[in-house]
């Protein structure tokens, strides 16, 4: 059993409106920053023990499928590093 950190990044699918990101962009622009676009994402860092990096990724994948992401509006990616 090895310790891993699985990082799950959940973001809105392309084409899905992101009002919070738009509002954040406007707020940055009001502060005088110049930017072309802004996208937001949620990142979950999950510490877990598994037999292999692949096994850790599989479990994180299932967590994303079942709870962390909503497949109707989200894409997600999983990145595993040894802890």
Partner 1 sequence: MTVAVIQFGGSNCDRDTVQALESLRIDAELVWHEDSLPEHTDGVVLPGGFSYGDYLRAGAMAAHSPIMEEVREAAEAGTPVLGICNGAQVGCESSLTPGAFTTNESARFQCEHVHVRVENADTPWTRQFEDGEVLELPIAHGEGRFEIEDDRLEALEDDGRVLFRYCEADGTVTPEANPNGSKHSVAGVTGAAGDHVAVLMPHPERSTLPDIGSTDGQGVLEGFRAD
What residues line the site for partner 1 (CB under 8 A)? Answer: 16-20, 22-23, 66-68, 70, 72-73
Closest to partner 1 by CB, 22 vs 29, is 22
Look at the block and give the residue holding tokens 């599989």.
58
- Shortest gap between Cβ of 1 and partner 1 (angstroms)? 27
- Shortest gap between Cβ of 62 and partner 1 (angstroms)? 13
Closest to partner 1 by CB, 53 vs 73, is 73
């Amino acid at each position: 059993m090895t310790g891993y950190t699985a990082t799950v990044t959940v973001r809105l699918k392309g084409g899905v409106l992101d009002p919070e990101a738009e509002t954040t962009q406007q707020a940055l622009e009001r502060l005088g920053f110049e930017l072309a676009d802004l996208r937001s994402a949620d990142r979950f860092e999950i510490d877990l023990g598994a037999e292999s990096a692949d096994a850790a990724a599989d479990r994180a994948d299932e967590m994303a499928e079942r709870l962390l992401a909503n497949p109707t509006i989200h894409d997600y990616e999983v990145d595993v590093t040894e802890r």
